[in-house]
Structure 1
Amino acid sequence: MNYQEAIRYLRSYKRNTGELSLKNLDKLLDYMNHPEKKLKFIHVAGTNGKGSTCKMLSSILRSAGYKVGLFTSPFLETENEQIQINGQVISNEDFAKVCKKVKDFSSYLMLDEIPTEFELTTAMAFQYFYETNCDLVVLEVGLGGELDATNVIETPLVSVFTNIGIDHVDYLGKTIKEIACKKAGIIKENGIVISYEQTKEVEEVIKIRCEERHSRLIVADFSNLKLHQENLSGQKFSYKQNTNLSLSLIGEHQRKNAAVVLEVISQLQMLGYKVSPNAITEGISYVTWPGRFEVLCKKPLVILDGGHNVQCVEAFAEVLKQFIQGKKATVILGVLADKDYQGMIPYLVPLTKRFITVTPKNSRALPSIQLAEELSKYHPLVSSYTSPVEGIMAALRDAREDDIICAIGSLYMAAEIRDCFIHE
């Protein structure tokens, strides 16, 4: 099996059309002699900030000298981005090798028991991290928590919750309490739980679940965050005893994610993991995360953000306001049809001089013409293009050096837009 054959195999089990369940993956892992039971995990759930949090954690632990596996989703450009060790993406050759192993094991299952693409990729990650002797694995939840493929693991070193909000309502529930209950399903017996400062309703759900599972809960204290400096290149801040931290990711929400990360590191230190203050400072400073308020060009200023729900767009708008100083931007917007795109619009309209709608490369994408019709109810200048590349090219054609262009709405269009700048 080569890389392309591996991708074709995985995509043939694309989506779960029935109820979510862990039984098929657990059965597959049983045939594989449970590689996940031989690994140490930090398990990260939430609605927004999971990827950034995972990236910070893995970077700090790598700087401390540990061999760190990182499993995240979705990917921007290629499937193997989801599986990394110490910042290095799994090679195409190793991806194909481990996929072949998982395929061979899955042949023991009945045809209707074959896991989904994400479950198979999760099994591949477990096998690869085990074979390469990772000291620690930072494991990002894909969807929800309780019935997510990553939740087959036993009690991790630490369970982590980033900011929880409304998203994936078809799977997780229509209220914040229902969604929080599903995400809190990652809390296991006698564990350590670190949480972002949540709304009262969400915090109560997590607190009750911790009590039921005899787990200890620590909530990051954002009142201990102190911002020293921030610009489009990054920010300098302190949290508790961690002073003069430099982070390339900007915005208050990223400082808050960092506070959660530092609480996790503190608990790992108490468990005996050696992470020096220098490793923390160095690890934080090395973090990059493409597609998160990423500056692709300065003249004109082009900002890319993969924000795909109302909370993300609200946070993006707050950060943008800081830096555009009363000016308005050309906003390229592309969304998936199952997202609350109507809820995003009020945060973007006050900052926008012109909207350009595009269709992300995903089967669930909302056609750009349909999005343009919706936006026209709120803004007089709206144009529609089929692809993200056509949209960014149209914006650049009309832009002056001091203009601002923002692309937001879905990570599924981020890779195409990045390629126009990164590989030009």
Structure 2
Amino acid sequence: MNYEEAMNFIQNTNKFGSVLGLDNIRELLERLGNPQDQLRVVHIAGTNGKGSTLAFLAGIFRESGYRAGRYVSPASFSYEERFRINEENISKKDLCFYMEKIKNVAEEMVKDGLSHPTMFEIETALSFLYFLDKKVDVVLLETGMGGRLDATNVVKKPIATVIASIGMDHMQFLGDTLEKIASEKAGIIKEGCPVISYDNTKEVNEVIKNKAKQMHAKVTFVNSAGIRVLQESLNGESFSYRSSDGRWYEKIEIPLLGRHQINNAALALETLNVIKNYYCISDFQTEDGMRKTIWRGRIEILEREPMVICDGAHNPDGAKSLLSFLQNNFTNQRLIYIMGVLSDKDYEQMVQILAPAADKIYTVAPDNPRALSSRELCNCISKYHQNVEERQRLAECLSEVRQKAEKDDVIIICGTLSFQNELINQ
């Protein structure tokens, strides 16, 4: 199988859609030798902050000399980016090798009267095969959607399960209340495996506590009261932290912007405390890894004059975090949004949150089959903001806005992670 054939195969699996449930992925992995059972896995679920938390952990492992594997979905800049070891993408040669192996097994499953694996199931299986062969020291595994019925939940015995920030998203699949969504996310908690959780709302925390108790799992929550913000700026954040077990971190510096990233960093620190017996990681390596963390497209400053910021916030809680950052840093500057969204997101609530702070809003359609048209988004925004105009694509719109903007203006590209790939050549 060459690269073109591999890409055709995986793209053709789109027709099988997204299927919640573990029967098919279990069968696929059984036929592949159950590679997931031979890996050390940190498994994380949540609405927001999953990727950032794992990015912090990946940075720490990298600076400590360990090999950390991550399956990242969706990818931002290339397909190979989905399968990474210490920030290095899988090679096209390896990708073709594993894709062909899985294709053969998938065809056998269909011949035996079983369902063809979905794209996410194939990619999950591929990541396990790849990470096992490359002898990674840890797999930082992020759920795709939910947790209980997500394909990644095939892992039987992770060294830790992590619950990130929980908010309203994917309600058609996960439920229409925070408690229902939290219950689905908490479905990754395994018998006797330690749990580390973001400090969510009281109702959500109770769901996690009850599930952990049911599974005889010790649960550790981020100590929100132990966070002391030392500095917030456009160059990064710094904070001190007293962990739940009383450990003191005097000064942690992170390059990711926004108050919410401090909370994600604290979640990563608590996770590290829980799994420390598996690895030898010094305080210096922890601090260095945090300071060197890389995670593109999360309140990322692309240019300074005028300021151009890209943020992948794609649900109401993400919109709130972005708004908080903008209000804290640009109180007396004009904010110009270039906004695009996916049609299956709660974009109207995102608009209600973000629109009042803007001076001008342009709408575009992301390069994604699930994109909402720029016209529909413009019509939605017009209910909450008078100064909105429709454009077609991001590149042309950004060029126009750059030319019109004053040097002190702030241009914010937001609404979906799909924009990252479109910004590569801008």
TM-score range, shorter chain: over 0.9
Letter in structure 1 aligned against 2:275: L
Runs (4+) off by over 6 Å: none
Letter in structure 2 aligned against 1:96: C
CA distance in 2 between partners of 1:324 and 1:18 (Å): 40
CA distance in 1 between partners of 2:176 and 2:285 (Å): 41
Residue matched to 1:201 = 203
**Cα separation, partners in 2 of 1:18 and 1:272, compared to 1, 3 Å:** closer
Letter in structure 2 aligned against 1:140: E
Q: Is the Cα contact below 8 Å between 2:43 and 2:161 reproduced in 1?
A: yes
Q: Does 1:128 align with 2:169?
A: no
SS in 2 for 1:245: strand
CA distance in 1 between partners of 2:372 and 2:18 (Å): 23
CA distance in 2 between partners of 1:25 and 1:264 (Å): 27
CA distance in 1 between partners of 2:70 and 2:179 (Å): 29
Residue matched to 1:359 = 365
Q: Does 1:333 align with 2:335?
A: no
Q: Does 1:55 align with 2:55?
A: yes
Residue matched to 2:89 = 89
Give the drift of 1:397. 2.0
Gaps of 5+ in 2: 243-247
Q: Deviations over 1:289-316 (max 9, x none)?
A: 1110000000000000000000000100
Q: Is the Cα contact below 8 Å between 2:59 and 2:294 reproduced in 1?
A: no
Q: Is the Cα contact below 8 Å between 2:299 and 2:309 reproduced in 1?
A: yes
The counterpart of 1:381, out of the listed 382, 387, 410, is: 387
**Match runs of 1:319-330 below 5 Å:** 319-330=325-336
Letter in structure 2 aligned against 1:169: M
Q: Is the Cα contact below 8 Å between 2:163 and 2:198 reproduced in 1?
A: yes
Q: Deviations over 1:337-380 (max 9, x none)?
A: 11111111232223211100010112221100111111112222
66-75 or 135-144, which deviates more: 66-75
**Match runs of 1:1-16 below 5 Å:** 1-14=1-14, 16=16
279-288 or 393-402, which deviates more: 393-402
CA distance in 1 between partners of 2:68 and 2:229 (Å): 29
Q: Deviations over 1:358-406 (max 9, x none)?
A: 1011222110011111111222211111112122122112112221100
CA distance in 2 between partners of 1:329 and 1:56 (Å): 29
SS in 1 for 2:359: strand
The counterpart of 1:255, out of the listed 259, 262, 285, is: 262
Give the drift of 1:418. 4.1
The counterpart of 1:173, out of the listed 167, 172, 175, is: 175
User: What value does the CA root-mean-square deviation take over the aligned residues?
Assistant: 1.3
CA distance in 2 between partners of 1:288 and 1:65 (Å): 17
Q: Deviations over 1:120-166 (max 9, x none)?
A: 01100000000011111100111110111111011200100110000
Letter in structure 2 aligned against 1:292: R
Q: Is the Cα contact below 8 Å between 2:68 and 2:139 reproduced in 1?
A: yes
Q: Does 1:265 align with 2:265?
A: no
186-195 or 398-407, which deviates more: 398-407
239-248 or 405-414, which deviates more: 239-248
**TM-score normalised by the chain length of structure 2:** 0.96
Q: Deviations over 1:228-268 (max 9, x none)?
A: 12211111211121222111001111000010100011111
Q: Deviations over 1:207-237 (max 9, x none)?
A: 1111111111000101111221221111121
**Match runs of 1:86-235 below 5 Å:** 86-110=86-110, 112-235=114-237
CA distance in 2 between partners of 1:202 and 1:391 (Å): 40
The counterpart of 2:423, out of the listed 411, 417, 424, is: 417
SS in 2 for 1:370: helix
CA distance in 1 between partners of 2:24 and 2:194 (Å): 28
Q: Does 1:278 align with 2:278?
A: no
Q: Is the Cα contact below 8 Å between 2:77 and 2:424 reproduced in 1?
A: no
CA distance in 1 between partners of 2:79 and 2:203 (Å): 36
Residue matched to 1:301 = 307
SS in 2 for 1:109: helix
Letter in structure 2 aligned against 1:294: E
State the percentage of identical aligned residues: 37
Give the drift of 1:319. 0.6
SS in 2 for 1:14: helix
CA distance in 2 between partners of 1:335 and 1:155 (Å): 37
Residue matched to 2:34 = 34
Q: Is the Cα contact below 8 Å between 1:296 and 1:418 reproduced in 2?
A: no
SS in 1 for 2:418: helix
209-218 or 387-396, which deviates more: 387-396
CA distance in 2 between partners of 1:14 and 1:328 (Å): 41
**Cα separation, partners in 2 of 1:64 and 1:18, compared to 1, 3 Å:** closer
CA distance in 1 between partners of 2:136 and 2:118 (Å): 25
CA distance in 2 between partners of 1:353 and 1:16 (Å): 43
CA distance in 2 between partners of 1:15 and 1:259 (Å): 40
Q: Deviations over 1:306-331 (max 9, x none)?
A: 00000000100001111112323110
CA distance in 2 between partners of 1:207 and 1:403 (Å): 46
Q: Does 1:74 align with 2:81?
A: no
Q: Is the Cα contact below 8 Å between 1:188 and 1:213 reproduced in 2?
A: yes
Q: Does 1:404 align with 2:406?
A: no
Residue matched to 2:245 = none
CA distance in 2 between partners of 1:135 and 1:124 (Å): 17
Letter in structure 1 aligned against 2:322: F
Q: Is the Cα contact below 8 Å between 1:392 and 1:417 reproduced in 2?
A: no
Residue matched to 2:296 = 290
Gaps of 5+ in 1: none
Size of the alignment, in residue pairs? 419
Q: Is the Cα contact below 8 Å between 1:72 and 1:142 reproduced in 2?
A: no
CA distance in 1 between partners of 2:7 and 2:184 (Å): 30
CA distance in 2 between partners of 1:87 and 1:133 (Å): 15
**TM-score normalised by the chain length of structure 1:** 0.96
